[in-house]
Homo-oligomer: A and B are copies of this chain.
Amino acid sequence: MAKKTFQKLSKEKQNTIFDGAAACFAEKGYYGASIKDICENADISNGALYKYFDNKEELFLEVLLRCQEILEEELYKKYTHIENSLKQTVEAYLNQIIKLHQKYPDYIKIYSNLGSFEADLLSDKLNQPFMESADYVYNMVQEAREKGEIKLAIDDKELSFLLDNYFILFLNSLISNYHEIRFRFFLHKKPEEALTNQDKINFILQSITPILK
């Protein structure tokens, strides 16, 4: 946990610091990001950082918690209920992921790489994994079930897993070149053709259509 000194700072200042750190971690990863760069990005002195956090690892963990906070605030809180159909909710959710990525690209990049090296390295320190997304999707499916929207004889758990897969890999495609190319492959896009986010959304919506009534 961050030191008291840090907690006395204004929320605004705290977020400025997290933003600077997130930018560095997103660009180069945990090991690649240097304290010097982070301090410059966060607009604080080298010494100040060590007044706020014990060390680099603690700072990284705090940035991860800030990720969680952002997802909570910007994604899950906004979609507690299905307004219309499941299909529309899925579309809205995918669009919200895009907005989220536009607003917080660095945090999203860090989050989506959680499965990667560094996160595992620190996983024993991260008490509660980020299962908000999964939880949210499960609720989404349950509501749709109640509204009788689901045609296919598929279990709620299975369907929510299936949908969450789309969300995870769509998010990855915003961040990783590899996943962008993977979408491009399955959409049969030629190298010279543009691939828009709307193309990907349409593809996903098309994919789930036969599942729904």
Interface residues of A, Cβ cutoff 8 Å to B: 26-32, 109, 112-121, 123, 129-131, 134-135, 138, 152-155, 157-162, 164-166, 168-169, 172, 175-179, 181-182, 185-188, 203, 206-207, 210-211
Contacts and interface: CB of A to CB of B under 8 A. Distances in A.
Contacts of A32: 29-31, 117-118, 121
The number of times this chain is found in the oligomer is 4
B162 A207 contact: yes
Contacts of A165: 162, 165-166, 169
27 contacts: A27-B117, A29-B117, A31-B31, A31-B32, A32-B117, A32-B121, A109-B117, A113-B116, A114-B176, A114-B178, A115-B175, A115-B176, A115-B177, A120-B176, A123-B178, A129-B181, A129-B182, A131-B185, A134-B186, A135-B185, A152-B152, A152-B211, A153-B210, A158-B203, A161-B186, A162-B207, A165-B165
